[in-house]
A = this chain, B = another copy of it.
Amino acid sequence: MFLEKVFSEGLAHFSYVLGDNGRAAVIDPQVDVDIYLDIALENKCRITHVFETHRNEDFVSGSMELQHQTGADIYHGRQLAFQYGRSVKTGDRFEMGDLVLKILETPGHTYESVCLVVSDASIGDTPVAVFTGDTLFVGDVGRTDFFPDKAEEVAGLLYDSIFEKLIPLGDQVIIYPAHGAGSVCGVNMADREFSTIGVERMHNPVLQKTRKEDFVRYKVNERHYKPKYFKQMEKYNLEGPPVAFESKVWTPFTADELKERMQGGMVILDVRSAEACAGAHIPGSLVIPLEMIPAFAGYFLQYEQPIGLVVNDARQAEQADIYLGRLGYDTVQGYLESGMQEWETKGRRFDTISAVHVEILVDRIKAKEAFTLLDVRTIDEFESGHLPNATHIYVGELEDRIDEVPMDRPVTTFCGSGLRAVIAASILKRRNITEVEVCLGSMKACMSYACPVVKEETRG
């Protein structure tokens, strides 16, 4: 009986393959399913079952693709009218050798959410592990802001699912959640990747709110952001995502070819490092450093719009394409060959973004220089401490709130480390705000200096 975890970086998503005696199940597969097939093969198993703990909203489900390639059956919770797969309900039971998977309906994060309880027939019914989906994480619980009209109801459902269904399974049960630290699906997930019901019962901060009303109030007051692309994911994952994204003509472009395509409407996505993009980038390009794509591309990219990449090398282009594919973007058409060299040596104009150190910002603030310090972190991060006179707009909302940025003075973008700041800088430049600097290091660098940090509640 084996159980392997697959980590999807950026999304901080966990999927799982488990099986026994030649049969295997996959929980919450991502769309690039080769890894599951490889794990199954290595364990001499055939994938026969695919379970989705809920309709995922932050990535394209690989269930249909897995079914196509293996003939496996797909199972979901019954509280949503999925247009593919089969419904399950509490008590449903699936066996592979000694491995037993039992369904536990656990509404809250969504109505159709289920957990899967693992037991081992060779020792009896005792629960040994549980796949908790987006219901219970290490150090946090699932977000409950997807049904704003029913905020209290769903928070209450989540309370019941956790306190009346999961905790009673017993302290000895290992938990396998669908996300880890860094996911947008929770706020405060622990960095630790392994835990049990017992450990969470004792130490998960949200589970210390044992009175239902405290729990509900806490959840209702959480503030989350939601990338626009979640809608497309929800649609895909409800209707059944396309099997195998279309094979595409995927090539290196010369500078001339890329330029021509830009004029035809292609968006240029520069996924190189913050420093490289600052050093030189194609005017008008959208900068999202590679590792930020899973969490941020969904705020800025339109489905259907052709995408051309700027990358260090072909391998990076491939990785960017995988990340984008997981979000349902299948319109990458190629990449500028040889990084920016090709562009520069063809004499094309390039743009730069000056990188500034926090020390200079502090000096400017002290000298009361006229400039906009644009802090693009989340509202929670901002309120927990920021530089004086900073303007706050979350990076994901910057395009819609661009008019709030003063045009008459230079702008310095600022975030936690500099990565979101460079995304923001590129967005400002695309909107013709030309005097833009990026603060590399940003808030983390402030920790090493006697920076005058301000704390405040923005909420009324």
- Contact A44 B191, beta carbon cutoff 8 Å: no
Known: A46-B252, A70-B251, A129-B194. 18 other contacts (CB 8 A): A22-B252, A44-B252, A44-B337, A44-B338, A122-B191, A126-B199, A171-B172, A172-B196, A172-B199, A196-B196, A272-B276, A273-B312, A278-B280, A278-B352, A340-B440, A344-B440, A345-B441, A349-B357
A202 contacts chain B at the CB level, 8 A cutoff: yes
What are 30 inter-chain pairs, A to B, with CB distance below 8 A?
A: A22-B252, A44-B338, A68-B247, A69-B250, A120-B190, A122-B190, A123-B139, A123-B199, A124-B203, A128-B199, A129-B194, A171-B198, A172-B198, A244-B247, A272-B276, A273-B276, A275-B275, A275-B276, A276-B279, A278-B280, A341-B417, A341-B419, A345-B445, A346-B448, A347-B358, A347-B444, A347-B448, A348-B448, A349-B359, A350-B355
Complex: how many Å from CA A46 to CA B46? 37
A87 contacts chain B at the CB level, 8 A cutoff: no
A195 contacts chain B at the CB level, 8 A cutoff: yes
A residues in contact (CB < 8 Å) with B: 1-3, 20, 22, 41, 44-46, 68-71, 98, 120, 122-124, 126, 128-129, 139, 170-174, 190-199, 201-203, 244, 247, 249-252, 254, 272-281, 312, 314, 337-341, 344-350, 352-355, 357-359, 417-419, 440-442, 444-449
Query: Which residues of B lie under 8 Å from residue A440 when comparing CB positions?
Result: 280, 340, 344, 350
Shortest Cβ gap from A159 to chain B (Å): 21
List the 9 closest pairs (A to B, CB-CB), nearest first.
Answer: A172-B198, A347-B448, A279-B279, A275-B279, A278-B279, A345-B444, A276-B276, A344-B441, A347-B445
A194, A252, A444 interface centre (most CB from chain B within 10 Å): A194
Evaluate whether A69 and B278 lie within 8 angstroms (CB atoms) in the complex, with A120-B190, A352-B355, A444-B345 already known.
Answer: no
Copies of the protein in its oligomer: 4
Shortest Cβ gap from A352 to chain B (Å): 6
Complex: how many Å from CA A68 to CA B418? 37
Complex: how many Å from CA A343 to CA B215? 40
Partner of A354, one of B250, B340, B352: B352
Query: Which residues of B lie under 8 Å from residue A276 when comparing CB positions?
Result: 272-273, 275-276, 279
Shortest Cβ gap from A65 to chain B (Å): 9
Complex: how many Å from CA A339 to CA B422? 15
